[in-house]
Amino acid sequence: MSYPLSARKPSKLKHIAQNPFLYGMAVPGLLFFLVFSYFPIYGVMIAFKDYNYAKGITGSEWVGFRNFEYFFTSDDFWVILRNTLTLNMLFIVFTTVAAVLIALMFNEIRNKYFKRISQSLIFLPYFMSWIVVGMIVQSLFGGEEPMVNTWLQSMGFEPINWMFESKVWPYILTVIRVWQGAGYLSIIFLAAITGISEDLYEAARIDGASKPQIVLRITLPLLVPTIMIMTLLAVGKIFNGDFAMIYAIIGDNSMLYPTTDVIDTFVFRSMRQLRDFGMSSAVGLFQSVMGLIFVIAANWITRRVSKESALF
């Protein structure tokens, strides 16, 4: 927006006063985050306390960093940290790439009905409960005669004992994740693509640009800010293992822990007997703080590369 030189740029407050309805629309969202994200930060102190139901949050004793001790001195600390980060990175990279490709392909479909139906279908797995996904995976890879092995054998390959091969699971989990999440993400990207001005395409066509050229030179570059924002948001949760997904699929199969045990499943198992609020909050706090650091770092890098794509 540009203003005549004579007029001064209006202050924020004035801007709000001039557009009450526009800003009013932000109120529910702001309230939501205030109540469910900002107020609860008060509870962070549980991580530093020997929390006791009866004494309450403020009444419980301070214990400094004692609650953090168990997690950081755990035997498998580095393994689960590595697993959490690797799995999440695999998820982020492959889901994003797949989503962009899907969005680009959808953008080329001209038949309205076919487009709508395939959009819905590809979106569908996103709504599927992880428990159901876990059951499907069980029937594909589990049991004494896994279905996948029957296929492999019919094609002349050696059967694999999936439930013992921890090495293959990061890939299987990535495929499942892409299948589940890429559709959702692609709809967001598709919306961004739809927002690209038709003039640009028209100009390109007049200049005789080919389809691939248009995609590579116009659609993709203009999609980058959206991709960056979605990625930055995902990076914020990079230290949070997807408990629902991992636990529903891997469950208590210890043979697969070496590659699939993430912070959240590990903490769940450690706390099964103790149920200690303080210790679990300590790990939660660690995840959030690391997530924050990663977002700031990723944003800083993004800023250096392209200013418009950065989140803040």
Partner 1 sequence: MRVKKMFGAATTAVLVSSLVMAGCASNAETGGNEGKAPANTGSAAPAPKETVTLKAYFPGDKPAGFDEVLQAVNDKLKADNVGAALNVNFLPWTDYGNAVSVKMSAGEDFDMYLDAPWLSMNQMIASNSLVQLDEMVAKRPELQASIPEEMWEYNKFDGKIMGVPLGTTQGQLYGLLIRKDLREKYGLPELKTLDDLETFLYTVKEKEQDVKPFVINGIKADKLPFILSDSANLALDEVLEIGVNMFAYSTKDKKVVGQWESPMIADAYERVTRYYQDGILSKNIAQEQNAETLFKQGKYAATYYAADGVEGLKYSEMLQDGSDKLEVFIPNGDQAKPYTAFQQWNFLCIPASSKNPELAMDVANWLSIKENHDLMEYGIQGKDWEPVGETSYKVLSSYTFPGYVLTWRPTLNRTPDTMSADDKKWFDFSTNPANFTLSPTAGFNFNAEKVKTEYAKITPLHDSIFLPLNQGLLAAEEGKKTLGEKMASLGGQKVIDEIQAQIDAVVAGK
Which one, of 218, 186, 201, lies nearest residue 95 by Cα?
186
**Residues making up the chain, counted from first to last:** 312
CA–CA distance, 179 with 137 (Å, rounded to integer): 13
Give how far Cα 1 sits from Cα of 4, 9, 21, Å: 10, 10, 20
Q: Which is nearer to partner 1, 52 or 129 (CB)?
A: 52
Closest separation in Å from C-beta 207 to partner 1: 53
Sites for partner 1 among residues 140-159 (CB under 8 A): 142-144
Residue range at the interface with partner 1 (CB under 8 A); choices 31-39, 105-113, 212-220, 253-261: 253-261
Q: Which is nearer to partner 1, 214 or 276 (CB)?
A: 276
Closest separation in Å from C-beta 142 to partner 1: 5
- Which residues, including other chains, have CB under 8 Å from residue 125's CB and lie 6 or more apart? 133, 179, 180, 183
Q: In this structure, are residues 139 and 228 in contact, taking their beta carbons and an 8 Å threshold?
A: no
CA–CA distance, 149 with 11 (Å, rounded to integer): 67
Residue range at the interface with partner 1 (CB under 8 A); choices 46-54, 111-119, 192-200, 215-223: 46-54
* Residue of 2, 73, 111, 154 interacting with partner 1 (CB under 8 A): 73
Q: Which is nearer to partner 1, 104 or 276 (CB)?
A: 276
Closest separation in Å from C-beta 274 to partner 1: 6
Per-residue HEC secondary structure of 145-156 comes to CCHHHHHHHHCC
CA–CA distance, 291 with 297 (Å, rounded to integer): 10
Q: CA 191, 299, 32, 40 torsion: positive or negative?
A: positive
214 binds partner 1 (CB under 8 A): no
At 52, is the secondary structure helix, strand, or coil? coil
Residue range at the interface with partner 1 (CB under 8 A); choices 103-111, 220-228, 230-238, 247-255: 247-255
Q: How many residues sit in the footprint of partner 1 (CB under 8 A)?
A: 34
166 binds partner 1 (CB under 8 A): no
Terminal CA-CA length for the chain: 19
Q: Which is nearer to partner 1, 89 or 135 (CB)?
A: 135
58 binds partner 1 (CB under 8 A): no
The structure tokens listed for 138 are 């069980």
167 binds partner 1 (CB under 8 A): no
94 binds partner 1 (CB under 8 A): no
Strands (E), the chain: 49-50, 61-62
* Residue of 93, 255, 296, 311 interacting with partner 1 (CB under 8 A): 255
Q: Which is nearer to partner 1, 124 or 274 (CB)?
A: 274
Residues forming the site for partner 1 (CB under 8 A): 52-56, 66, 69-70, 73-76, 138, 142-144, 161, 163, 251-255, 257, 266, 269-276, 279
